[in-house]
Structure 1
Amino acid sequence: MVAVGAATVWAATDRDAVSPAVPTAVSAQAAAGPKLVIPSNFPDPGVIKVGTTFYAYATNSHGKNMPVASAPSARGPWSILAADGLPRLGKWATTGRTWAPAVTRRKDGKFLLYYAARNAALKRQCVGVAVASSPVGPFAPSGSKPLVCNAPAGAKQGKLSPEIIDAGSYEESSRRYLLYKVGYNQYHKPSFLALQRMSADGLQPVGKPKVILKQTNEPYTVEAPELVHRQGEYVLFYSAGVFSKDNYQTRYAVASSLGGPYKKAAKPLMTTAGFGRKVNGPGGADVVWDAGTWRIFFHGAILVGPPPKPDPSPQPKNLQRGMYEADLRWSKGGLPYVQ
């Protein structure tokens, strides 16, 4: 296996390669801040902190449906555990495309996992749920059907049925919510991010989902939603671009209420150029509150060999994505930047 960050750097293809929207005084620090904490394939990381230990979950790799890693601190040392965190998928799903897991803890102490997998009957990605008593698993699928397989009202994508991927979790005032992406490739344009209220146990949808963000000027797609509430504002982090190219990036939008409307920031939060090309395609971000500090975890990638075809699905075998960690800071105006 080739270590991420130790081989070929892509040619510049990022049409939106601009510096992050941060104060000038910290721009150089932001470019130097990220640390590669898992230097092997660990795509689409979802991270939580339980007690004093960090746990991270990734898209299928290392021969597992869901690799799990742990560390005593955000910057490591990180170790990928031997066991598969999700050894068995829901009855509706087939193996090979278990993507972008999101884990959260319920008030009863159990852990919820939202994951995307291929629906055997529909031949496309849907989102399912699983439960475990430990953050390392094993997570056991709940129910015989996926949670979400269909696009919400307002997410029109032509005749083709869109895929549902990139689940995220958010909780507020004892209410639990599921976020996800509608659409995946160039055949499903534009793509959307949706918000769905869930039951208290996180296992059933409540009411109808709502589209909270639509792809407009972003390259290729919008995906990987992550929601943070800070100082009365909701900050929706998301990725754009093609995950196998260096135009992959992390952006954000802000709203005064949970359901929006969300106003997109003028510039991305993290790009390949913004990091001085030290990180390629920074995306798939997850944000964690760590005893007074905001942490942001994300993957960066290299390609070994020729690039894949324009539609990189499933994941090309020559793509490696390692996990990075950085401090997430906030300007006096309340805008996020990475340090």
Structure 2
Amino acid sequence: MPSRRNFLLQAATGLASLALATRAAARAAARTYTNPVYAGQFPDPFVLRHQGHYYAFGTTGTGRTSDQRIFTLLTSDNLVDWKALGGALTPPAGAEGADFWAPEVVYHQGTFYMYYSSGGGAIGATVGHRLYVATSKKPEGPYEQVALLDVPASKFTIDAHPFQDTDGQWYLFYARDFIDSDQGYRPGTGLAVDRLVNMTRLAGESRTVMRARHDWTMFEKNRTMPLYDNKTFAEWHTLEGPFVRRHGGKYYCFYSGANFLTPRYGVDYCVADSVLGPYSDAGAAQGPRVLHAVAGHVRGPGHHSHILSPDGKTEYLVYHAWNPAMTERQLCIDKLAWTAQGPRCLGPSYTPQPRPA
């Protein structure tokens, strides 16, 4: 039986070892992150980096933030630790009952421009969704709606993504409905692009970027659409959330496909030699190649944006994914790798990962 002195020495040694292990675990935790990086409702995340700070904007739907604005706004210095700042967009006149989706913000010549869609309520009673732009002199807003970016041929237009080419010209990519099945394409939401005459006006020269043609992008079978005189479509497909990157002299239009509630939902891409296309999705037939669900761990990852880490070198995808109860789409991040097979996200991750450098 150990003496009292030995017992006390063993107890002290054990406590010291526990303290060392606790400190080591704390140091390891400080060097890692685990998704979600913001455990609250934050669909369709877009992140802007400006003067060393990150600003994240997320969909609020018909809801309002605590300050009665539209679009949840977060800020961070490292992409991992986020602080809520309230809302970004002042509700425009007639916004009661309207949905507001998928904000994206760019900075151009001293002004911040926010692009988004809205539908329903008084401002969108005759069509499903239309595109709008709002402006602010500060990244955090408040933003004030200044223009409608209408696409007359479409009754449902969402997910505006502004892109500036190397020559300085701005373009607007977006998702819109196509109800025909010409050339073997599937009816549903597809991707298009138009040139911006200025930051608040489209040229009216819309071109199709990509339409659905693969089984995995199906949103719903036998879908009846009130927008189209209650016509029922045997299959309705969805491509949405475009985001464009120029890499290696080519243009990659990333997008999310399928029904966001299903395990099929994920991120794929098409590629072109010119910003206006034509775009090819060769290799996309089997499912999303960039980001996809992990059975039992991650469901519905997608509607992403791209951002560089604080060192300005490492590219991350910022995306949403469902919580286990499927009551919230939460903010997640993971590295993007440009491989010989094309762009691939090193995720979706659900275990500790090295923090962005």
TM-score (norm 2): 0.71
Q: Deviations over 1:206-229 (max 9, x none)?
A: 241111111111222100000000
Contact 2:163 2:170 in 1 (8 A): yes
2:344 maps to 337
Compute the displacement of 1:149 (Å): 4.0
CA distance 1:177–1:227, change in 2 (3 Å) = same
Compute the displacement of 1:183 (Å): 2.3
Instruction: Verify: 1:70 aligned to 2:64, yes or no.
Output: no
Instruction: Verify: 1:295 aligned to 2:287, yes or no.
Output: no
Contact 1:150 1:162 in 2 (8 A): yes
Contact 2:178 2:190 in 1 (8 A): no
CA distance 1:301–1:168, change in 2 (3 Å) = same
Query: Whole-Å Cα distance in 1 between the matches of residues 332 and 178 of structure 2?
Result: 24
Which is helix-richer, 1 or 2?
A: 2
1:224 maps to 241
Instruction: Verify: 1:87 aligned to 2:86, yes or no.
Output: no
1:4 maps to none
* Stretch of structure 1 that moved more, 259-268 or 288-297: 259-268
Compute the displacement of 1:52 (Å): 1.2
Compute the displacement of 1:277 (Å): 4.0
Instruction: Verify: 1:113 aligned to 2:126, yes or no.
Output: no
Q: Name the aligned partner's letter for residue 138 of structure 2.
A: S
Instruction: Verify: 1:233 aligned to 2:243, yes or no.
Output: no
Compute the displacement of 1:199 (Å): 2.5
2:145 maps to 141
Compute the displacement of 1:270 (Å): 1.0
Of residues 114, 120, 127 in structure 1, which corresponds to 2:131? 127
Instruction: Verify: 1:271 aligned to 2:292, yes or no.
Output: yes
Aligned residues with identical type, % of pairs: 25
1:97 maps to 99
Unaligned runs of 5+ in 2: 1-31, 180-185, 220-237, 347-357
Contact 1:196 1:205 in 2 (8 A): yes
Q: Deviations over 1:293-335 (max 9, x none)?
A: 111100001474xxxxxxxxxxxxx73100101111111x261
Which aligned pairs between 1:247-326 and structure 2 lie closer than 5 A? Answer: 247-264=264-281, 265-266=283-284, 267-268=287-288, 269-273=290-294, 276-290=295-309, 291-302=312-323, 304=325, 319-326=327-334
Query: Whole-Å Cα distance in 1 between the matches of residues 240 and 96 of structure 2?
Result: 22
Contact 1:95 1:117 in 2 (8 A): no
CA distance 1:92–1:178, change in 2 (3 Å) = farther
Q: Deviations over 1:1-22 (max 9, x none)?
A: xxxxxxxxxxxxxxxxxxxxxx
Which aligned pairs between 1:11-26 and structure 2 lie closer than 5 A? Answer: none
Compute the displacement of 1:336 (Å): 0.7
Compute the displacement of 1:92 (Å): 6.4
Secondary structure at the aligned position of 2:113 is classed as strand
Query: Whole-Å Cα distance in 2 between the matches of residues 78 and 215 of structure 1?
Result: 36
CA distance 1:222–1:130, change in 2 (3 Å) = same
Q: Name the aligned partner's letter for residue 163 of structure 1.
A: F
Query: Whole-Å Cα distance in 2 between the matches of residues 58 and 140 of structure 1?
Result: 17
Contact 1:33 1:327 in 2 (8 A): no
Query: Whole-Å Cα distance in 2 between the matches of residues 92 and 178 of structure 1?
Result: 25
Instruction: Verify: 1:203 aligned to 2:200, yes or no.
Output: yes
Query: Whole-Å Cα distance in 2 between the matches of residues 237 and 34 of structure 1?
Result: 24
State the structure with bigger RCO (CA 8 A, min sep 6), 1 or 2.
1
2:168 maps to 174
Contact 2:60 2:72 in 1 (8 A): yes
Contact 2:53 2:77 in 1 (8 A): yes
CA distance 1:92–1:259, change in 2 (3 Å) = farther
Contact 1:34 1:326 in 2 (8 A): no
Secondary structure at the aligned position of 1:38 is classed as coil
Contact 1:52 1:73 in 2 (8 A): no
Which aligned pairs between 1:140-159 and structure 2 lie closer than 5 A? Answer: 140-143=144-147, 146-151=148-153
Contact 2:60 2:71 in 1 (8 A): yes
Query: Whole-Å Cα distance in 1 between the matches of residues 133 and 202 of structure 2?
Result: 11
Query: Whole-Å Cα distance in 1 between the matches of residues 97 and 315 of structure 2?
Result: 34
Query: Whole-Å Cα distance in 2 between the matches of residues 230 and 279 of structure 1?
Result: 28
Query: Whole-Å Cα distance in 2 between the matches of residues 270 and 104 of structure 1?
Result: 25
Q: Name the aligned partner's letter for residue 168 of structure 1.
A: H
2:156 maps to 163
Compute the displacement of 1:247 (Å): 2.1
1:56 maps to 56
Larger radius of gyration: 2
Query: Whole-Å Cα distance in 2 between the matches of residues 149 and 39 of structure 1?
Result: 35
Which is strand-richer, 1 or 2?
A: 2
Contact 2:127 2:155 in 1 (8 A): no
Q: Name the aligned partner's letter for residue 242 of structure 1.
A: N
Secondary structure at the aligned position of 1:137 is classed as coil
Query: Whole-Å Cα distance in 1 between the matches of residues 33 and 250 of structure 2?
Result: 25
Unaligned runs of 5+ in 1: 1-31, 152-160, 305-317
